[in-house]
Amino acid sequence: MKAANQKVKKVLAASGIEFEITLLPAAVRTARLAADALGCAVGQIANSLIFMDQASARAVLVMCAGDRRVDLAKVRRETGLELGKADADFVKRETGFAIGGVPPVAHANRLRCLLDKSLQQHAEIWAAAGTPESVFRMGPQQLQQITGGDWLELSQS
């Protein structure tokens, strides 16, 4: 297990939720590839997307189901935040993880987390565990517990 996985494992263990980090045979950089590797629905993949708040230049984590896309206009209506794209350097600096492996926890800096209600469609969801070839499974309630995120309507199909 890589150092990035160990960071995630430590935070998850401290949270008190049951988890197991699953290492996949190859990097899965899309929700479709992850779902195929895990044998689950694409909607069970919890995408961790980092955006930059245009007002504060701080990172914001938006999580949504793998079969959905974040709608920035909905984010603005729901939260008042004007979010913009974050480049790979910004993501690495703010989270400590590379794009494709950003987990919902264990970030380098404290992030505001927004959870799209699309993640509540399934009893079990899978999130990145620090690298593009690692994931862990949990329920939507556990995701909210470990992130402190708010459930909002933020996506479109």
Report how many domains make up the chain: 1
pLDDT in tens, 99-156: 999 999 999 999 999 999 999 999 999 999 999 999 999 999 999 999 999 999 999 9
Q: What amino acid occupies position 50?
A: I
Helix (H) or strand (E) holding 116: strand 112-116
Q: Is residue 58 part of a domain?
A: yes
Helix (H) or strand (E) holding 138: strand 134-138
What tokens were used for 35? 């779902």
Q: Is residue 98 part of a domain?
A: yes
Q: What is the pTM of this model?
A: 0.94
Q: Is residue 112 part of a domain?
A: yes
Instruction: Please name which of 34, 17, 38, 11 lies closest in space to residue 101, comparing C-alpha atoms.
Output: 34
d(CA 49, CA 47): 6
pLDDT in tens, 20-44: 999 998 888 889 999 999 999 999 9
